Amino acid sequence: MKPSRCTIVAATGLFLAASDPSLAFDRNGPFAPLPDIERPDSGKVALGQALFHDPILSAGNDVSCASCHDLKTGGTMRVPRPFGKVDGKPLFNVPTIFNVANNHALGWRGAIRSLSAQNEKVLLDPNLMGAQWGDLLAKLAGSPTYRDAFARAYASPPTREAVLDALGSYEISLRTPNSPFDRYMQGDIAALTARQIEGYRLFKDYGCASCHQGSNIGGNMSQMLGIFSNEDRYLPESPTEEGEGGDEAQWPFRVPSLRNVAQTAPYFHDGRTAHLPEAVSQMGRLQLGRRLSPEDVASITAFLESLTGFYGDEHPAGEESGRK
């Protein structure tokens, strides 16, 4: 008996799925590879890179953006919480600067929607860089190097708009593509180990992906910390944001991106947790109402390690790792 047309089509589909691994991947899942972007102007990126690493942006010429966002340590700083320059009180844990342009919401409260607004907030905050635009622009204009760089990149002297645009252009370039999980999503099924694939399944089945989703595996919504338990929801002297009031335990936090999360310990807004498996276990209890088994924690941790991408030819945090 001759095979029917449907049988031939089905067999052809099975053959293609076997010969092309990309067809075996579920592209309707909650995640996407890190997208390609239109590259910012190279002159503006170079100027933004110089500004990012130069303490000239701070009022006291003593701290730069890179002082907290160190590209050699995952785009962050490996301390639980820095302290305000003026009041000496603990601030929020420093989030990574890598892939920041791919976040829909910025800041731990998720209230900021643009890199320019976020950068200006940091520049002018007395507890962070403490700058004032008049003084800052005068310093940049007094530098022949910067005066020439702004003239080349913007055909103007240093201005507020140009400074913010240059910083944003550089930050847009701080991408870490080509993680094992990206390669897996692009069809390279062998890019993940069996344990990482199991962790990916658990991450979806347990509901982690309901908050950590999209191409940045988070960074696009806010959520309460402690849905199923308010135990240890926040620490004493938890940092506040201007304009907020009332019970701070009721304020939501931005769901952070999990890209490169294995390189960015300690974890949470207050840096309370030093190790990634412990953070996974805590999230299971606080956000999912589950006591995750050691096996499940190990599998989910292995999956999260597959989210470490490359900045240039190196991992974001070099040879160091936030997991022990």
Contact in structure between 24 and 90 (CB atoms under 8 Å):
no
CATH topology of domain 42-172: Cytochrome Bc1 Complex; Chain D, domain 2 (1.10.760)
| Cβ atoms of 51 and 210 closer than 8 Å | no
The CATH number of the domain covering residues in 180-305: 1.10.760.10
pLDDT of residue 41: 95
Query: Which pLDDT score, from 0 to 100, does residue 239 have?
Result: 54
The parts of the chain modelled with pLDDT lower than 70 are: 1-28, 229-250, 317-324
The CATH 1.10.760.10 portion of the chain extends over 42-172, 180-305
Nearest to 91 by CA among 71, 68, 112: 68
Kindly report the pTM of this predicted structure.
Answer: 0.85
Residues paired with 112 in a beta bridge: 106
pLDDT digits (tens, 9 = 90+) for 281-302: 999 999 999 999 999 999 999 9
